[in-house]
Amino acid sequence: MKIGILDEHPEWSKRLIAELEGRGLEVERIDHSAHAFDPRDRRRRWDVVVNRTSPSSHRRGHGRVLFYAEPLLAHLEAIGVPVINPVAAWRFEKSKALQVQLFERLGVRYPRTVIANGAGPVRRASREIRFPALVKPNVGGSGALIERIETPAELDARADSLDFGPDGVALLQEYIEPRDGAIVRVEVLDGHMLYAIRIVRRADQFNLCPADLCQAPAPDALAACPVDAAPVLEITRHDPPREAVEQAIALTRAASIDVGGVEYLVGAADGRIYVYDVNATSNFVADAPRVLGFDPFPAFADVIVRAAGRAARAAA
């Protein structure tokens, strides 16, 4: 049984690989920041591939991964290699615009949002949105490039200088003040809630990755998510309401996400749940045994092993 881990970050998958190798499994890390494949090659080199591609790759000098991952994943699926978080999941992972359309389609409450291509349309979108507002790049990752704008006049003055990310598409989104400055991330694994955590942030903090691997991002550096970075967030285990859990499961299912997180906040003004982000890359919370009372990686490994086992039996 051979397992491929698709990940351009040199640190992110070490804990998962250690868990799998500790079970005596053969694991290969596939670094697709420098990679090639032949569409004529139909050999199945892995019993399962775990897709851990992240939109934040462009913040580490690996921007090509954003575009290379899709044909590579499509090729793996076409030759019959099972992929955990397949190409359909990657499309939602890398596009906040597609996520918003998914929220709308499933009837999930989310902050009012306009999707705009370029500075001019962003300015015009200010007529539709209440301020303060957030400008978010369509392709983000770890809160990168999100800007809070207080007034339409400020947006008009700054629009030409804002960085809309790799594809130049932006989301102008009403800012919903979260109750107690907190958001909740519901982690879903194989169609069930694995755990949920409550994250309290500073008002100017948009990098809400709960893993210690994801703090202090620095553009164009592999050290964008250093493992030795001190966590800057207050994180506690949380018991979300049934509505939030059901929405998280429905969203990940609709987005073909096998393992990932859905983030929401409770509005300070109205007490309602607002979903605002879907993530298909899970590094899990730092110091999980202390925060959660258990280690989530064995459960993740169980899902991978079951998928690989099914594939191996089918090929026999």
Does 177-294 carry CATH code 3.30.470.20?
Answer: yes
Tens of pLDDT, residue by residue over 198-247, are 999 765 555 444 443 344 343 333 333 323 333 446 899 999 999 999 99
Instruction: Tell me which DSSP letter residue 76 carries.
Output: H
Phi first, then psi: what are they for 102, rounded to 5°? Answer: -65, -45
Tell me the mean pLDDT per 10 residues along the chain, length 316. 92 93 96 95 95 89 91 97 97 96 98 96 95 94 82 96 93 96 96 96 54 39 34 82 98 98 97 96 87 96 92 73
CATH for the 2-92+300-315 domain, from 3.30.1330.10, 3.40.50.300, 3.40.50.20, 3.40.228.10 = 3.40.50.20
- Please give the distance of CA 111 from its chain centroid, rounded to a whole number: 18
* Dist CA 91 CA 89 (whole Å): 5
Q: Cβ atoms within 10 A of the Cβ of 306, count? A: 12
Q: Which residue type does 254 have?
A: A
State the fold for domain 113-174. Answer: Dna Ligase; domain 1 (3.30.1490)
What's the whole-model pTM score?
0.89
Report H helices in 3-86: 14-21, 65-78
- Kindly list the domain boundaries of the chain, sorted by start residue: 2-92+300-315, 113-174, 177-294
Tens of pLDDT, residue by residue over 38-76, are 999 999 999 999 999 999 888 888 889 999 999 999 999
Element spanning 50, H or E: strand 48-51
